[in-house]
Chains A and B, each alone.
Chain A
Amino acid sequence: MIANQILGQNERELDEKSEYLVLSFSPLSAPIRSRWRNNGLSADFLGDFVTTFFSAEGDLTDASAHQKEIKHAVTYIANEFLENAMKYHERDVDIPIAIRLELTGTQITITASNGVGAEQADRYKAFVATILSSDAGDLLVRQLEESSMGTAPNASGLGLLTMINDYGVRLGWQFEGNPRYPGFLVVTTSAVLLPGPGTGVAK
Chain B
Amino acid sequence: MKTITGESFEIRMEDNHSAVFFKGALRLSGVTDYLPILELLKETLVNPTNPVVLDLKELDFLNSSGITMLSRFVIEARDQAGINLYLIASESIVWHARSLKNLQRLMPALVIHLT
Residues of chain A whose beta carbon lies under 8 Å from any beta carbon of chain B: 32, 36-37, 39-40, 68-69, 72-73, 75-76, 79-80, 83, 87, 137, 140-141, 144-145, 147-148, 155-156, 158-159, 162, 165-167
A69 to B93, CA, bound (A): 9
Interface residues on B, range: 20 to 34
The chain B residue sitting closest to A47, CB to CB, is B61
Which of chain B's residues have a CB closer than 8 A to the CB of A166? 95, 98-99, 102
Contact at A79–B71, with CB atoms within 8 Å? no
The chain B residue sitting closest to A79, CB to CB, is B63
Contact at A141–B106, with CB atoms within 8 Å? yes
The stretch of B13-21, B22-30, B41-49, B80-88 that contacts the partner chain: B22-30
* Selected contact of A147 from candidates B61, B63, B72, B92, CB within 8 Å: B72
Contact at A75–B102, with CB atoms within 8 Å? no
In the assembled complex, B105 has its CB within 8 A of some CB on chain A: yes
Contact at A144–B102, with CB atoms within 8 Å? yes
The chain A residue sitting closest to B79, CB to CB, is A148
A72 to B61, CA, bound (A): 9
Contact at B27–A40, with CB atoms within 8 Å? yes
Residues of chain B whose beta carbon lies under 8 Å from any beta carbon of chain A: 7-8, 25, 27, 29-31, 61, 63-65, 67-68, 71-72, 75-76, 92, 94-95, 98-99, 102, 105-106
Q: Which DSSP category, helix, strand, loop or mixed, fits chain B's interface?
A: helix
* Selected contact of B27 from candidates A79, A145, A162, A165, CB within 8 Å: A79
Tell me, rounded to whole Å, the shortest Cβ–Cβ distance linking A61 to chain B. Answer: 12
Contact at B63–A83, with CB atoms within 8 Å? yes
Which of chain B's residues have a CB closer than 8 A to the CB of A72? 94-95
What are the 4 closest A-B residue pairs judged by CB atoms, nearest first?
A: A72-B94, A159-B64, A144-B71, A148-B75
Which of chain B's residues have a CB closer than 8 A to the CB of A141? 102, 105-106
| 10 additional A-B residue pairs with CB within 8 Å, beyond A141-B106, A144-B106 | A87-B30, A140-B102, A144-B75, A145-B106, A147-B68, A148-B71, A148-B75, A155-B31, A159-B63, A166-B99
